[in-house]
Amino acid sequence: MSLSRPDRVAWLVAGLLFAGSLVNYVDRAALGVVKTEILEDLQLSNTDYALALDAFLVAYMVLYVVGGRMADRLGYARMFTVTIVFWSVASMMHALAAGLLSLCLFRALLGIGEGGFYPVALRGSVEWFPPETRSKAIGLYLCGLSVGTLITPPLVAWIAASYGWRASFVFTGALGFLLVPPWVLLHRRIRRAHGPHHAALRPWAGSDLQTGADSGLPLRAVLRRRKYWCLLTARALSDAAWWFFLFWIPGYFRDVRGFDLAMVARWLWIPYLGADLGALGGGWLAAMLIARGLDASFGRKVVLVPSALLAAGGSMACFVGNPFLAVGLLSVALFGHLSWATNVHTAISEVSPPRHQAVLYGITGAAGTLAGALTQPLIGLAIDLAGYEPAFVCVAAAYLLAIVALLAAGRIEPLR
C-alpha cells in the first residue's frame, strides 16, 4: 500500500487512534458491568467501590499531565505503544483481585497506563490534521471511547455469565496487544518513506511541529490566561459528569431498574450508540459550518451550547417511570456529551501554542479527572444514603455550568 498521500496516511493513523481509544474504554468500563458480582464476591460496599474508582482516577489524573509532556517530547508514536502495553497488563491483573486493597492497586495501575493515551491521541491528531478538519479526527478517536462503552456491556456480561467476572478482565485486557504490531509497522514504513518528521506529508504544518521549535507563548504564560482556565473549567465539569455515566449507569439499571446481566447486555449498548453519533456528528457539523464560511469560534459554539443542553436534559432519566424511556433519555444525554466533548477538546487544541498542545490538553484532562475523583466518594455515599436521584441532578447542573464557563472564555482563537 502506498504511503505517498497525506490524507491516506493521516486517516490510517486516526483509525489506529480510534482502535486504541476503543480498547482503552473497554478495559476501564468492564468494572462497571460486573460491579454487582465483584461487590458480592469481595464483600464490598458502594463506598468501597467508589474508593477503587478513585484509585484509578487519581493515577489517571497524574499521568494525563505527565503523558502529555512525554508525548510532546518523545512523540506520539512511541508513547502509543508504551501506554497500551502498560494498561493492557494492568487490566488483566484485575482477575487476581482478592479484596479492596488489591482492587484499588490494580485500578491505579490501569490509570497509570491509560492516563497518557488521550494526550497522545491529541498530539497525533494535531500532527496529521490541519485546524479546519481536526475536529473530525478528534471526533473519530472520541467515538472510540463510546464504541468501547457500547460493546462492553454485552461483551463483558456474556463472558462473566459464561466464565465468571475474573475471565472478563483477562479477555478484555488482552485486546490491546492486537494493536501494537500494526501501529509499529505503519510508523516504520512512514519513517522509511518520508523521514522522522515526514514534513512532505503535512504541507500545511508549520515548522514548530516538525522541529519542536518554540512558537508563541511559553507554558507558564498560557497557564496565566483566563481563556485557557475557562476552557479547562468547561471540560472539567463535563468530564465529571462523564465519569458518572461510565462507572455508575450499569449499576443504576441493575440496582434501581431491576436489570440482570442479560438485560444489561441487551439494552445498555444503546446510550453508547447515541454517544458514537454525537462524537462523529458534532465534529463533522462544526467542520462543515466552518468550511462554509462561519466564523471558527462561533461555529464551534453553535454546536457546543446545544450539545450541553441535550446532555443536561437527558440526565433527567432517573425521573421517568419506564426503564426503556430512561435508556432513551440517557442516549440523548450521551449524544450531547460526546458532541460537546469533540468540540471542547478541539477548542483546547486551537487556543494552545503548538509546542505545548499535548501537555496543555493533558492538564485539562487531569482537571476533569480530579473533578471525577473528588465526586466519586460523594456519589457512593449519596447512593448508599439517598439513592441515585441527587447524582443525576448534579450531572445536569454540571453541563449548565460548563456552558457558562465556555461563554466566559470569549473567542476560541490562538493565545498570543
Q: Is the dihedral of CA 190, 193, 196, 202 positive or negative?
A: negative
CATH number at residue 279: 1.20.1250.20
Quote the number of domains for the chain. 1
Distances, alpha carbon 323 to alpha carbons 79, 102, 292, in Å: 42, 35, 41
Q: Is residue 259 part of a domain?
A: yes
Q: Is residue 23 part of a domain?
A: yes
DSSP 4-31: --HHHHHHHHHHHHHHHHHHHHHHHHHH
- Closest CA relative to residue 209, chosen from 344, 12, 353: 353
How confident is the model over 72-85, as a mean pLDDT? 89
Burial 332-364 (b: 16+ CB within 10 A, else e): bbbbbbbbbbbbbbbbbbbbbbbbbbbbbbbbb
Confidence of residue 205 (pLDDT cuts 50, 70, 90): low
How many degrees, rounded to 5, is the angle at CA 269 between CA 263 and CA 275? 150
Determine the pLDDT at residue 211: 38
Share of the chain above pLDDT 90, in %: 45
Residue 202 has pLDDT above 80, yes or no: no
Q: Is residue 110 part of a domain?
A: yes
Least confident stretch, 159-163, 215-219, 331-335, 375-379: 215-219
Determine the pLDDT at residue 216: 61
Q: Is residue 349 part of a domain?
A: yes
Average of per-residue pLDDT values in the chain: 87
Determine the pLDDT at residue 207: 40
Residue 10 has pLDDT above 50, yes or no: yes
Residue 329 has pLDDT above 70, yes or no: yes
Determine the pLDDT at residue 408: 96
How confident is the model over 319-342, as a mean pLDDT? 94
pLDDT in tens, 240-299: 999 898 778 888 998 899 888 788 878 888 888 898 899 888 888 988 998 888 888 898
Determine the pLDDT at residue 241: 93
- Closest CA relative to residue 119, chosen from 335, 286, 368, 334: 368
Determine the pLDDT at residue 39: 92
> How far is residue 201's CA from residue 85's CA, in Å, rounded to a whole number?
28
pLDDT in tens, 18-53: 999 999 989 988 998 898 899 999 999 888 988 898
Q: Is the dihedral of CA 27, 33, 34, 38 positive or negative?
A: positive
Q: Is residue 142 part of a domain?
A: yes
Q: How far is CA 355 from the centre of its chain?
A: 22
Confidence of residue 194 (pLDDT cuts 50, 70, 90): low
Q: Is residue 305 part of a domain?
A: yes
Determine the pLDDT at residue 1: 47
Question: 218, exposed or middle or buried, with CB in 10 Å at 0-12, 13-18, 19+?
Answer: exposed
Determine the pLDDT at residue 118: 86
Q: Is residue 199 part of a domain?
A: no
Residue indicated by cell numbers 494552545: 352
Residue 4 has pLDDT above 80, yes or no: no
Question: 147, exposed or middle or buried, with CB in 10 Å at 0-12, 13-18, 19+?
Answer: buried
Domain hosting 48: range is 6-194+215-408
pLDDT in tens, 355-378: 787 788 889 988 988 898 888 888
pLDDT in tens, 206-221: 444 443 444 567 888 8
Q: Is residue 167 part of a domain?
A: yes
> How far is residue 240's CA from residue 8's CA, in Å, rounded to a whole number?
35
